[in-house]
Amino acid sequence: MNILVFQHLDVEHPGAFRDFWTEAGHGWHAVELDAGDPIPDMAPFDLLVAMGGPQDLWQKDELPWMRAELDAIRTWVVDWGRPYLGICLGHQLLAEALGGKVVPMTHPEVGLADVIRTAEGVADPLLAGLPRRMQSFQWHGAEIGTLPEGAVVLASNAACPTQAIRWGRHAWGLQYHVEITETTVADWQAIPEYAASLRAALGPERAGGLGAEVAPHLGAFRATARQLNDNILSVLAATSRE
């Protein structure tokens, strides 16, 4: 299987998913859009994964590559009907590519937080085998304010009602992170935009200790990421048989 990855920051990569793909012998190709990498011919790929980044959807007129990315996602999901997974910014890009609207949050959501699966989420194949209440890692100051037509909410919490969505039978977005590794917090803290939202959300003292707060949960996040990875690959296998 060939996986195409859209990245918007070099340190916001697929994390643990890379290990799972390598173990299974899948090929994957990362395109660093913010650095000017062109979107390749997407036809040879089986799965499109879009990661997070410090950019916001209301910057799309300032960032020509974001407009091109939205067009590519729309082609992939709507015209070709191929499986898609968006994480954080990738989740928001899916919504806007399909006609939804992303808006600023009143307060950024950063750090450990539970998300709760909705009734639709309990029945969804991407989240199969996961608990109804799941711990997540959050780092975002925007959220989906208006869902695209046909989208359903799979998980929610008080800070952000659209923590996970599905469109059709093949396109998913997760506002939260489970792919994080032991270097993620330190890597992201070095990004000025992320550091500012971290301090705003948690205060300087707790912000400084976020890495230590997250460390005991990395094993559980990796297990959740593996389950999600297995689930989406199962969806891919079922789709290929149809």
Ordered per-residue pLDDT tens for the chain, 242 residues = 999 999 999 999 999 999 999 999 999 999 999 999 999 999 999 999 999 999 999 999 999 999 999 999 999 999 999 999 999 999 999 999 999 999 999 989 999 999 999 999 999 999 999 999 999 999 999 999 999 999 999 999 999 999 999 999 999 999 999 999 999 999 999 998 888 888 888 888 888 899 999 999 999 999 999 999 999 999 888 876 66
Residue 196's pLDDT is: 86
- Give yes or no: 62 in active site: no
Give the C-alpha separation, 226 to 61, whole Å: 36
174: nearest Cα among 213, 104, 127: 127
Across 3-34, b (16+ Cβ under 10 Å) vs e yields: bbbbbbbeebbbbbbbbbbeeeebebebbebb
Is there a catalytic annotation at residue 91? no
Q: What whole-number distance in Å separates Cα of residue 45 and Cα of residue 55? A: 25
pLDDT for res 204: 87
Q: Which of 8, 13, 69, 88 is catalytic?
A: 88
Q: Is 177 labeled as catalytic in the residue annotation? A: yes
Per-residue model confidence (pLDDT) at position 7: 98
Burial, 93: exposed, middle or buried (Cβ in 10 Å; 0-12, 13-18, 19+)? buried
pTM, two decimals, is 0.96
Q: Tell me the per-residue pLDDT of 125-134, one tens digit each, with 9 for 90 and over.
A: 999 999 999 9
